[in-house]
Amino acid sequence: METLEQKPAAADDYFDPKIVLRQVATIPQVPSEVMQPLKIDKDSSNLRIGTLISHLEKAVFLAREFLEKEQRLLSNIKHEQLANTISQNSRLFALQVTRNELIKWIEAELPKTDEIPVDISKDTSGMYFQGQVLPNVRTSLESLTKLYSKYIEARELLLACSQNDIEPNDSDYTDKKDIIVSEEQPEAVKIMSMVFPYFSELLSLSNQQRVFIQQKLHLTTNLTKLLEEANQGFERQAQESHLLPIYPLSLSELHRRQNDGSNSFAEAVSSQDRPNLYRHGILWAHAAHAAGCATMDLVHRSSEVGKLSLSEVQINLGKLEFLIGNIAGNHCLNTKKDIWFNLNGNIERIKAEIFESD
């Protein structure tokens, strides 16, 4: 301390770090292994960062391309599955229709075989069995083959129409109308034929409905979380507040206001288990209104007291002015009397001197 007091405060040696830190021990050197990464040139670091960024961009691009490929593959698989299900349903429907048509045709043809007229000619001569003439088998087989060929054509056309592979012309439709479509179709077949063109629209509507349900669920979850957070905040503020205990609201009044706020009994029952923010709002509004009324009463009382004190001050000021005015008036009268008296005396003295000189 004595040496420091001897030195001047603004000397150059006092601010020279070499002289001041002469007797201080030297700082240990940093190991070369630690300092070696710090000696890298800035250009090399920039180049390294650039290469890393390029590699990262390439990896991101490849990942995005791979994701797009996977999405396309997934969409194709979904479309194939949908097409397979639709084709299987259509094939099953077509097979059911053809089976029903075949059964009806067989049931219609069976009684006709018993009613075939007997053709007694040279070809059929000698075809008797116990006194009965047998029908011609060849003609019946030819008619059956023709009908069966028509049935096969109708079945192929029906399968092609169900798979949307061909578009039948008006002429073919008019020619084969009596084969493909019968007038007595079942009600289920008619309903399926009416609903089948709208399957794609119904599928899109179901997807949209699923998306809407997911959005509704997301919104409801977020809103419930926000309501719970708001309810917790209201409860925390109610515990920390000094206003609600001072101005409480009775339970009967609270229930009455809640019943007035609810539109129906169903809404009141459905919102019973939910966090009731309306109740907190009623409590805070009542406390704020009561505090405002109390503040207004205090302001009115203070203003009345101020008016009374102001009137008293005005009265005191009037009295003080009256007293000051009387004192000032007496002083002025005294000063005026003294001045004129002196003047009159001087004038009389001057007149006496003038008369004596004459």
Is residue 239 in some structural domain? yes
User: Would you give the distance in Å from CA 310 to the centre of its chain?
Assistant: 61
Indicate the Cα dihedral angle 236, 240, 245, 246, nearest 10°: -140
Structure token digits, residue 36: 């070696």
User: Would you give the distance in Å from CA 328 to the centre of its chain?
Assistant: 84
In the block, tokens 């116990």 appear at: 130
Length of the chain, please? 358
Cβ of 224: how many Cβ atoms within 10 Å? 12
| CA–CA distance, 61 with 271 (Å, rounded to integer) | 51
Is residue 35 in some structural domain? no
Kindly report the pTM of this predicted structure. Answer: 0.30
| CA–CA distance, 248 with 238 (Å, rounded to integer) | 11
Nearest by Cα to 161 from 94, 79, 61, 67: 94
Per-residue pLDDT at 193:
63
- Tell me what percent of the chain is helix, strand and coil, each rounded to the nearest 5: 80, 0, 20
Radius of gyration of the chain from Cα atoms?
59
Is residue 288 in some structural domain? yes
Is residue 287 in some structural domain? yes
Is 239:272 a contact under the CB 8 Å cutoff?
no
| CA–CA distance, 103 with 317 (Å, rounded to integer) | 126
| CA–CA distance, 156 with 150 (Å, rounded to integer) | 10
| CA–CA distance, 158 with 95 (Å, rounded to integer) | 9
DSSP 62-106: HHHHHHHHHHHHHHHHHHHHHHHHHHHHHHHHHHHHHHHHHHHHH
**225 is in which domain, residue-wise?**
208-307
Domain count, the chain: 1
Single-letter amino acid code for the residue at 110 = L
The per-residue pLDDT string of the chain (358 residues; one tens digit each, 9 = 90 and over) reads 666 666 655 566 656 667 766 766 666 676 666 666 555 555 566 677 878 888 888 888 888 888 998 888 888 888 787 777 766 777 777 777 877 887 788 777 776 665 555 444 444 444 444 444 445 666 777 777 787 778 777 777 776 766 654 444 444 444 444 444 444 445 555 666 666 667 677 777 777 888 888 888 888 888 888 888 888 888 888 888 777 778 777 767 666 766 665 555 445 544 544 456 777 778 888 888 888 888 998 999 999 998 888 888 888 888 777 777 666 555 555 554 555 666 676 777 777 777 776 6
Is residue 78 in some structural domain? no
Structure token digits, residue 331: 């002083």
DSSP 319-356: HHHHHHHHHHHHHHHHHHHHHHHHHHHHHHHHHHHHHH
Structure token digits, residue 347: 């004038």
Is residue 155 in some structural domain? no
Is 243:197 a contact under the CB 8 Å cutoff?
no
Is residue 74 in some structural domain? no
